[in-house]
A and B are shown apart, each in its own frame.
Chain A
Amino acid sequence: MIIVSITKKLDSPTGDLLLKVDLSVENGKVIALYGESGAGKTSIFRMMAGLMKPDKGKIIVNNETWFDSDKNINLRPQQRKVGFMFQDYALFPNMTVKKNLEFALEKGQDKSTIKKLIGIIELHDLQLRNPETLSGGQKQRVALARALVNRPKILLLDEPLSALDIKMRSKLQDYILKIHDEFHLTILLISHDVGEIIKLSQKITRLENGKLASPENPFSFFTSNKISGKYQFEGEVIDIKKEDVVFIVSLLAGGNVIKIIAQESDIAAIAKGDKVIVASKAFNPILYKIQ
């Protein structure tokens, strides 16, 4: 069980922001943090990893106190055993992929974990390469593997897949799922991608105006349980065109462009760039704005 109950005043681009987090996560769950950029999601991760000090509160992981402002406890990052995947991957340029992984070993830890990770994340061919010769997706895989070498209790993924194309994304999501099953990890994930959140996480919580909402089921979070569709998928509106009496809405969903016919009333609240869910009842598809 992970309990995070902290407050922290942040200098955000829009002025001071009081971050107030009350979150408890069961072991072995994947929970997604969702919210606008600049809302303080990364700061929550940094405080959990010990890279930033909360003003007040406590962080308790499996009955071990990592931070407690009342008792003056603040474990250093080195003592916390967190797997942190940085947005810029933070691979060490002076080491090969293999050396990057070996660097993460604890004193006396044998190399079998590395072998296992190389197998799961399919890094065989990259072992002797230098980080700067890797593509974005390859770097990300290495960063993911490195974060797991010393068997952390929690894995923090800060927008892990934002820089990748759709095909690569889905592959990496599979790696994350595999790792989650293999190591029984508790994963916290920052993501803006609705599909990714639904695929990976069991709970989602939204950070808004510095407050973290109570966790919900991701699917009902995005659909608000209002629609009972025969099928549904999410996409991004890339175009809305008027054709005679109806509108044709073009969506980008899973790498495909899909055209949907909509009534004027359907699209009243929808603009280009919106994330929507397309759901179908018996006959006609329904568009539903989610973001």
Chain B
Amino acid sequence: MIDWEPLILTFKLAILTTGILFLVSIPVAYWLAYSKSRIKPIIEAFVSMPLVLPPTVVGFYLLVAFSPRNFFGSWLDDWLGIRLIFSFAGLLVASVLYSFPFMVQPIQSGFSSLPASLKEASSVLGKSRVTTLVKVLLPNIKSSILTGCILSFAHTVGEFGVVLMIGGNIPGKTKVASIAIYDEVEALNYTTANTYSLILFLIAFTLLLSIYFLKGGHSKKLVP
């Protein structure tokens, strides 16, 4: 019988990451879709960085930032009593940052694909930006939002490098399924490694399949 803890931890992490990303990404994606600011390309590049950087780079800088020996880490420790290194909270923050583009980009392209007149019509009808966002824009990009959620969830499940750098390998706290597999292989427990792998494989396949079904093949445009 396998140890279910890493899998449970993986899904707890993925669900929380997706939830936080959903709330954070909507304002960011809205700004990126509609702003004419000159610094927009810079922000866009930053948001997309996790797509191209090796996870270890992201992990390394977060490790440095979160370390209680450095300014940000010691500030968190002193003022809020939070230590992000080798803890589930740290893992969560790292996952949110690392999966950011997977949520922001589909929602941003959803906003951009809507005709500008919908937003304009709503404001001419006297509706505030928030009302327009909640009642007009978001309901019309449901499939983009769903795509963002599924991709972020799946991407978090598949994390390895960032998790290893930030969380280490503490059973019940930071040992997620992808790390458990690595562990089992190192211990030559191929059967257990295979069980974990197969479960992740099936979940990833089901999630991606559901996107392709929902989008009817349009998801080729999605982020890699």
Contacts and interface: CB of A to CB of B under 8 A. Distances in A.
A, B bound: yes
Interface of A: 49-51, 76-84, 86-88, 90, 92-94, 103-104, 106, 146, 149-150
A79 to B, nearest CB: 8
B140 interface: yes
Given A77-B120, A92-B140, A106 B126 contact: yes
A77 B140 contact: no
Contacts of B207: none
Contacts of A81: 126
Majority DSSP secondary structure for residues of B touching A: helix
Contact of B124 (A82, A93, A103): A82
A167 B34 CA distance: 40
Contacts of B140: 92-94
A149 B126 CA distance: 11
Interface residues of B, number: 16
A77 B124 contact: yes
A87 B128 CA distance: 22
B198 interface: no
B125 A103 contact: yes
B210 interface: no
A78 B124 CA distance: 5
A78 B126 contact: yes
Contacts of A104: 125-126
A86 B120 contact: yes
Contact of A77 (B115, B123, B135): B123
B135 A103 contact: yes
B121 A78 contact: no
A112 to B, nearest CB: 18
A146 B139 contact: no
B117 A88 contact: yes
B40 interface: no
B118 interface: yes
Contacts of B127: 78, 103
Q: Give the top 3 A-B pairs by smallest Cβ distance, nearest first.
A: A90-B117, A90-B121, A94-B139
Given A94-B136, A94-B139, A146 B117 contact: no
23 contacts: A49-B120, A49-B124, A51-B123, A51-B124, A78-B123, A78-B124, A78-B126, A79-B126, A84-B120, A84-B121, A86-B120, A86-B121, A88-B115, A88-B117, A90-B115, A90-B120, A90-B121, A92-B136, A94-B136, A103-B122, A103-B125, A106-B126, A146-B125
Contacts of A79: 126
Contact of A150 (B117, B118, B121, B126): B126
A86 B118 CA distance: 9
A150 B123 contact: no
A80 B120 CA distance: 13
B125 A86 contact: no
Contacts of A87: 117
Contacts of A50: 123-124
B123 A76 contact: yes
Interface string B98-136: 000000000000000001011011111111100000011
A276 B198 CA distance: 77
A95 to B, nearest CB: 8
Contacts of B120: 49, 51, 77, 84, 86, 90
Given A77-B123, A88-B117, A93-B140, 16 more contacts: A49-B124, A51-B120, A77-B124, A78-B127, A78-B128, A80-B124, A84-B124, A86-B117, A86-B121, A87-B117, A90-B117, A90-B120, A94-B140, A104-B125, A104-B126, A150-B126
Nearest to B120: A51
